[in-house]
Structure 1
Amino acid sequence: MTEPVLKVSDLSVSFRSGGRTVHAVDDISYEVRPGEVLAVVGESGCGKSVTSMATMGLLPPTATVTGSVRLGGRELVGASEKELARVRGNDLAMIFQEPMTSLNPVLTVGRQIGEVLRRHQGLSRKQAAERAVELLDLVGIPAPRRRVGEYPHQLSGGMRQRVMIAIAVACDPSVLIADEPTTALDVTVQAGILDVLRSLRERLGTAIVLITHDLGVVADIADRVLVMYAGRVVEHGEVHELYAQPRHPYTNGLLGAVLKPGAEGKRRLPEIPGLVPSLEAQPDACTFAPRCPRATERCTAERPQLDRAACWHPHEVEAR
């Protein structure tokens, strides 16, 4: 088995504001290998995007980051802004969640792609412009030579997302973090974006960390999956095994709430009762216990360790 290209160990992130401390990410560990797609899933506010921003070194000064993020042999936690600037966009790239706010509205898409190439690869303006055309063609944008001269508002949502992918892969990064790359896109456009990501993995051997709340997308493209709840990893494993036999009650609840084809209107979707806990204090116990139908006194008094699932009373794996 190949060595991991990205290894995150014991990563924790907290924010201090107004005399309060919010523990957004608590002791996250994962690794991803070349050509692998790791999906990070969970409901809004569970820490998925904060984890990715911490990995990229893009959090504000109010954030405190501990743990380790190793890209190849380089440690990124604690690295200087100059060191991170050399890595970001070159070896480690990110597709941000909303392309309309991530792209500069007053610059053409060709110039925005070319800026990455000129900064990291030292290309001339003319060389960068030609390479921008090639990249737009790579991500499936029709008439790329015309599109490089257009502005973001002239493109559809799907095309803007493809431009973001073109910028992210311009320097052939070894790791690509995709933060909700298919959100608010219709099913046809979503399928096209996923095809682009598959093509990049196959052609360039890019490792992809896919952040999403869409379990259908995970089943379609991911190799492994990491399930987060209240800033912690509650389960991880191979995607087909986790979907077939989820062990953590939270994972079981997420999968149970997925609509099945032809089942619309025939049954009420199951819901997880209760509220997500406050992140001001991470208890030395199971954070899901107040909402869990399987919880016992041990769950509220002792924190479970992560094996396949961080749970004292996981669902049993059925014999095959």
Structure 2
Amino acid sequence: MLAALALLTAGLLAFHRAVPNSVGRLGSLLEAFLPWLGLVVVMLLGLALLRRSAAALVALLLPVATWTYLFGGLLLPGGSKPGARDLVVVQHNVSDENTDPAGTARALADAGPDVIALEELVPPALTVYEKTLAQDYPYRAVRGTVGLWSKHPLTGTRLPDIKPRGIAEDWSRGLRTVVHTPHGEIAAYVAHLPSVRVGASGLASSWRDESAGLLGKAVAAEKVEAVILLGDLNSTVDDRGLAPLTSQLNVAERGFAFSFPAAFPLARIDQVMARSGTVAHIRTLPATGSDHLPVAARITLD
């Protein structure tokens, strides 16, 4: 039995894309928590040692090797300090219920990033973020409830069409702008994709998936070669729902950076991705007044 469970775990890790999404989006639900199958491997290892089962121990080599192949690289050190062609970015869903926007803004600025992307910006907190960040980040672009603050000039700000057809009310949760860095122009996208819900019927993610598809089309049509995407995408990079984005953008090579929920982080749904650049390392920052943890990433431009 233990050997069979080990082989099943290895199969789920290696062939998670084969789990169908037709019923309750079970495939996406599995992929949202895929790294946590490592805990199943640890539990099976403990039981195998307790039972002194040689067959189970041999079978466990397969899920251990598979998990290491998929996620082992994320455990490696982040490497050297930022280089000449590196861009440091911070991404944070600040929460529309945050009672300390000024403290949140200062904490993000203290990380020293080149750009800061924020979601769930609502008045009057927006005014506080603008005032607190103005000195160190004189350039900003805000559209709807998302915004980008930058040390470098911004131009060409516009709204990408990422609103799902089923949402009738006003909904503006994305922007695109061009950051003029010393190393050239970078098209920056900030997005807050629709939330998902887990219930008795499974994972409800159709709006998020549709919005991810629209965002993927916008990125594919982007004429500026270098692109960075920052946002609360309400999904992990292993989830097939983000395939329109992960199929064309690089994701973090080092760091798990589980960002949600802040009280007990189980998954990284706050993402940093890049085209013509490598997301060398991603990490979480200390908690703010939000239910998300901020994430900071180092992007090495090609």
Higher strand share: 2
Q: What TM-score do the two structures reach when normalised by structure 1? A: 0.28
Q: What TM-score do the two structures reach when normalised by structure 2? A: 0.29
